[in-house]
Chains A and B, each alone.
Chain A
């Protein structure tokens, strides 16, 4: 079993939809949780960074962490075609990016 599980998709939604992306994990030591967005031929770009459980909102993006269930989510409101990309969840037990473990990434397509 992988430490971090993420459905690779693809996930297709119409423009304006609310998108829900999820990851589960097995290592209870993870405390730092991240979401990255990766466009084709580009490196991953940090979207959200959270510590421990709870919610964090940034514009159209909301990250949720439920440590009791070992489950994290990223919600995208009012999705746009420009949101079409691969979304990677990532987590680590220590700060400083030390041994960050990534999910497989979910390919998202937002159709105009």
Chain B
């Protein structure tokens, strides 16, 4: 069974640009969550989607947005990039119901210069 797939693996962008990251969940998983990981802050929750609807949002500015498509694939977008947005962005998927922990992809490493 294929795992969570994130593309691209690496990105280098300039301040002020925008970026779109993609995530394909495990087959049959309908919930997708996004996390930002930095050495100083650890894993911080960005948002969660289920059935194309954002169910929860973390404490991030409006420059961070996301969406989910009918096939459960998800994208997140960061506009007007800042140096502090440099991080590993992780996508995780889960089944709904009991005994459903998060399963992560290998992330997209974003560097903002």
The answer to whether A97 touches B42, judged by C-beta atoms less than 8 angstroms apart, is no
Q: Is B97 close to A, CB under 8 A?
A: yes
The answer to whether B104 touches A105, judged by C-beta atoms less than 8 angstroms apart, is no
Question: What is the minimal beta-carbon distance from B89 to any residue of chain A, in angstroms?
Answer: 10
Contact A96/B103 with A43-B90, A102-B42 known, Cβ cut-off 8 Å: no
Question: What is the minimal beta-carbon distance from B56 to any residue of chain A, in angstroms?
Answer: 6
Q: Is A34 close to B, CB under 8 A?
A: yes
The answer to whether B42 touches A96, judged by C-beta atoms less than 8 angstroms apart, is no
8 other A-B residue contacts (CB within 8 Å) besides A96-B95, A96-B97, A100-B102: A43-B90, A46-B103, A90-B101, A95-B99, A98-B55, A99-B48, A99-B56, A100-B45
The answer to whether A43 touches B48, judged by C-beta atoms less than 8 angstroms apart, is no
Which chain B residues have a beta carbon within 8 Å of chain A's beta carbons? 4, 6, 31, 33, 35, 42-43, 45, 48, 55-56, 90, 92, 94-107, 109
The answer to whether B48 touches A46, judged by C-beta atoms less than 8 angstroms apart, is no
For the complex of A and B, the 7 pairs showing the least CB-CB separation, nearest first, are A43-B104, A97-B94, A102-B43, A97-B102, A43-B106, A104-B42, A96-B100
